[in-house]
Structure 1
Amino acid sequence: MNILFTFVPLESVQEGIRQEYPDFTIHFSRIGSAADYLPEAEIIVTYGEDLNEDYIQKAEKLKWIMIMSAGMEKMPFDACAKREILVTNARGIHKIPMAEFTIGTMLQHVKQFPAIRRNEELEEWDRKVKVGELAGKHILILGIGAIGGETARLAKAFRMKVTGINRSGKPHQDADQTDTFENIEAYLPDADFIVSVLPSTDETKHLLKEEHFRMMKDTAVFINIGRGDLVQEEILLKVMGEQVIAHAYLDVFQTEPLPKGHPFWTMDNVTVTPHISSITENYMPRSLEIFRHNLQVYRTNEGSYINVIDLARGY
């Protein structure tokens, strides 16, 4: 059985995988250099950004694709569906780092850590910095799934009011209330933090419009750790330029890397981070655990796969 990894991890990780599965033929190669391996690959392990229909066609024996991330907007699902290729991903591994990243972002905002750090650099003893609290604040979580749910759990520990938004409106144990996307406007005027962990789908693309931001408090904070196409960049530039809300913390963008010279870099009320909310030293070990489980199911045809993707929906 041939497995093709279209990314090249550390040598120690490669050797560990080969030792764990000595009866497999395993190749580690960037997709552009994998022409010799594609025709025989029965399993492809990828981050989901390098495959296209042509590569799927060349992988004549391909039966399963394991995506070692949650993002799948660049995947050629139509080509996979035609071949009835199984697709799974690593959904769920991001919930701890991304929830912690969100809490950290909210804490630095209310505790004014950037301002305090600037004063330290200037050697200014300023006790008039307006430091606040998370307790009693209202967080509106767009996409209260694995990541959003963990964010909600941590937010409740800080005594925040939590509203979750999802497709079905199904209640979540760590949310005070849960509703559907159709009713999002009812919660925007009261929210102190609007946090998006939404993936990129036909339903979520450009979900937030200019009028949504104008419904928010002028003290509201927008945090996007989901996908950059949730709101059109031109709209976000406009509302932040007009200071419609207090601050936007952006970890994702329409174009990545964010180009040098882009206005977001220099806007005082926008904080840019380079799509790192999910990245820690535990990323690879957690995704490999899901791969190992699913590979065992694949080999034995016993048990259930984790995170099977509905190819028609794209998630």
Structure 2
Amino acid sequence: MSKIVFLQHLSEKQKQQIEAAAPHDEIVAIPVKEATEQDLADAEIIVGWSRKFQDFILSPDCAVKWVQAWSAGVDKMPLTELEQKQVLLTSANGVHTIPISEQIFAYMLAFSRNLHQAIRNQSRARWDESGRFGELHGKTIAIVGAGNIGIGTARLARAFGMKTVGVRRSGQPLDEFDTMYSMEQLDEALGVADVVVNILPLTEQTRGLFDQGRFAAMKPEALFINVGRGTTVRTDDLVAALQNGTIAGAGLDVFDPEPLPEDHPLWSMEQVMITPHIAGSNEHYTDRVLDIFLTNLKAYQQGEKLPVNLVDYSSGY
């Protein structure tokens, strides 16, 4: 019998799903704020992560063999130490495809139809018909990070009659994209786009990738959307690009630093839309993570390689 610890609240229905899949295991579901090291001491599988328990999980006193992260990104986890301890790590990559792709289009539609200004005017009780009113049809979207979210976004873009450009490490084509570029061709992709969407994970290769030069490679009328990681963007360079008119606007859900300080210049920019790192939030999140976990659990029980989102420590995701 193994012990599986979930560091979050689960509904009775969700607990029953897990118990049905692991009838001989001990299942513990306890919110991280209430959990103690004793709860984790003899856990073979931990679902979720908290820095509160990081040192303990990495210590010899913790018997964990597999961690299922609750987030899609694992860049904030101690990957080197987990690898040294020979802990299997799986991410929740894929759970965000629908909400984040829809959030990307919320930004795009708002900017296209000048809704971001209309909302500001409404709060001031101001009737103002001025502004630029465009349409997405016929525009080109460059999606930097053509994974699950990127593919989902490309499908929506095609439904709006947009041209789809993708950027991925391999540069290999995907059906959802009209054109695919490698990361070495990033500047070329940026130069043809009306909208640039950053969905990259944080790695040593992507840290600070969007800098002054990258914004200069974009069209002056282009919109930049970041739903990936804040630290893949040099924030000061983004601010300068917006102030100087190097790019036309930005829809931002992630930041460096985060939370964004109250006195940061991005808050007061009329051509910027800000959301507080909520693009992936939705009411189906837990169920979708459980779908990933239960698929992997079946393989784990049979001694097979975990089939969904097994992190490659050498690449960092």
State whether TM-score is above 0.5: yes
Match of 1:208 among 196, 207, 210: 210
Unpaired runs of 5+ residues, structure 1, are: none
Shift of 1:175: 0.7
2:67 is aligned with 1:69: no
Shift of 1:149: 0.8
- Does the 8 Å CA contact 1:48/1:71 hold for their aligned counterparts? no
Shift of 1:79: 1.5
Match of 1:91 among 86, 89, 93: 93
Which moved further from structure 2: 186-195 or 256-265? 256-265
Residue 9 of structure 1 is matched in structure 2 by: 9
Which moved further from structure 2: 300-309 or 65-74? 300-309
Residue 79 of structure 1 is matched in structure 2 by: 81
Which moved further from structure 2: 165-174 or 22-31? 22-31
Residue 147 of structure 2 is matched in structure 1 by: 145
Which moved further from structure 2: 147-156 or 250-259? 250-259
Residue 256 of structure 2 is matched in structure 1 by: 254
Distance 2:163 2:53 in 1: 41
The one-letter code matched in structure 2 to 1:124 is: W
Q: What percentage of residue pairs aligned between the two structures are identical?
A: 36
Matches within 5 A, 1:186-205: 186-205=188-207
The one-letter code matched in structure 2 to 1:3 is: I
- Does the 8 Å CA contact 1:48/1:72 hold for their aligned counterparts? no
Distance 1:139 1:291 in 2: 33
Shift of 1:70: 0.8
Match of 2:141, SS?
A: strand
Shift of 1:82: 1.5
Shift of 1:125: 7.1
The one-letter code matched in structure 2 to 1:183 is: Q
Shift of 1:190: 2.4
Shift of 1:285: 0.6
Shift of 1:25: 2.2
Matches within 5 A, 1:1-315: 1-6=2-7, 8-10=8-10, 12=12, 15-16=15-16, 19-20=19-20, 21=22, 23-27=24-28, 28-30=30-32, 33-47=35-49, 52-118=54-120, 122=125, 124=127, 126=129, 129-301=131-303, 304-315=306-317
Report Cα offsets for 1:18-75 as digits up to 9, x if no partner.
Answer: 7545532233242784211232010111156655354321553211111122111111
Shift of 1:129: 4.4
CA root-mean-square deviation = 2.3
1:248/1:59 Cα in 2 relative to 1: closer, same or farther (>3 Å)? Answer: farther
Report Cα offsets for 1:234-259 as digits up to 9, x if no partner.
Answer: 21222222232111111001232222
Match of 1:178, SS?
A: strand
Distance 2:211 2:235 in 1: 11
Moved over 6 A (4+): none
